[in-house]
Amino acid sequence: MNPVPLPALIEPACALSLAEAGRLLREGRLVAFPTETVYGLGADATCDRAVAAIFEAKGRPSFNPLIVHVADAAEAEALVELDDRARLLTARFWPGPLTLVLPRRAGSPVSLLASAGLDTIAVRMPDHPVALDLIRAAGRPLAAPSANRSGAVSPTLALHVVDSLGARVALVLDGGPCRVGVESTVLDLSTATACLLRPGGIAAEEIEAALGSPLARAAIDPHAPKSPGMLESHYAPGLPVRLNATTAEQDEALLGFGDIVGTLTLSAAGDLQEAAANLFAMLRLLDGGPHRAIAVAPIPEHGLGLAINDRLRRAAAPRGQP
């Protein structure tokens, strides 16, 4: 009889644990780590087997691309072709929650599996000292989706990673709660017109102001997404989710916002930044409760509200998606 696998080891981020994490990554193992957005499930982005281990651990569809994390813009330029728009945005928003989809550079070492076979690669520089130190300790770019089973609520604490992935991860670096709480904004710069693929931690209005032009909005193909987070049913708790609720129906938990006070409330002050930071942790708490469903109060459709509503619509989408 095979022994029951032990849960992943959680270690406070320090020089020793970072060195060990870098060694594990170079060996093709999986390491979870904090970013300013959510905890990421990291693997050596240049190693096909390591990248495949991410898909296996998450139960993630292989056609859903991964984001490649780098420690600086110079490292990104070794992987992808940066144009003037990309250089402007990296200077303005990196490190930070902005992912750029750019043409793959000839000879780029990034595994094709990480980009789902596309001729583009999604790259970003996270705004978290532990994430940046880990990339440097590994000595290579890291492919890193959110550190949870595919389609489930994203982790904003180290314990969330263990609850979701357990022994599938060799090590979890604990950097405390994630500051932003929703994933990065994903912007496609592989075409002449910059296109918003996924709302996220940087508001579309800020990017448009920096570029001096409006962004196109992507038409979503759920069978062949160009970036992470574009599957129709995604970020989903186990319970059904009902949106734009002002009160809870029988046996529902209510996730409140502003004047609508719920079982839990994303932000009583109506602060979208606070709501974004609380979103996944509160969905996870309600998902583990005695209710039959989760009702969610209306969230304004501007700024970070775009990202929050994007996640909530995916959480509420009909199940049965990959």
Q: Is the dihedral of CA 137, 145, 62, 109 positive or negative?
A: negative
Backbone angles phi, psi at 294, to 5 degrees: -120, 125
For residue 190, tell me if it sits in a domain: yes
pLDDT band at 195 (very low <50, low <70, confident <90, very high): very high
Shared domain for 209 and 130, answered yes or no, is: yes
Shared domain for 155 and 266, answered yes or no, is: no
For residue 231, tell me if it sits in a domain: no
235 belongs to an annotated ligand binding site: yes
Q: Which of 182, 217, 252 is the last residue of a domain?
A: 217
69 belongs to an annotated ligand binding site: yes
Shared domain for 163 and 247, answered yes or no, is: no
Shared domain for 187 and 269, answered yes or no, is: no
Shared domain for 205 and 289, answered yes or no, is: no
For residue 235, tell me if it sits in a domain: no
Helix extents (H) in 8-128: 15-26, 48-58, 73-77, 84-93
60 belongs to an annotated ligand binding site: yes
184 belongs to an annotated ligand binding site: yes
Shared domain for 57 and 107, answered yes or no, is: yes
Shared domain for 124 and 189, answered yes or no, is: yes
Range of the domain at 213: 9-217
For residue 251, tell me if it sits in a domain: yes
Number of domains in the chain: 2
**CATH code of the domain containing 307:** 3.40.50.11030
CA diameter of the chain = 63
Q: What is the pLDDT of residues 1-41, one digit of tens each?
A: 455 455 678 999 999 999 999 999 999 999 999 999 999 99
pTM: 0.82
Rounded mean pLDDT, 90-103: 97
246 belongs to an annotated ligand binding site: no
**CATH code of the domain containing 171:** 3.90.870.10
Q: What is the pLDDT of residues 208-260, one digit of tens each?
A: 999 999 999 876 555 555 565 555 555 578 899 999 999 999 999 999 999 99
For residue 321, tell me if it sits in a domain: no
Q: Is the dihedral of CA 91, 120, 198, 53 positive or negative?
A: negative
For residue 228, tell me if it sits in a domain: no
Give residue 59's identity as a one-letter amino acid code: G
37 belongs to an annotated ligand binding site: yes
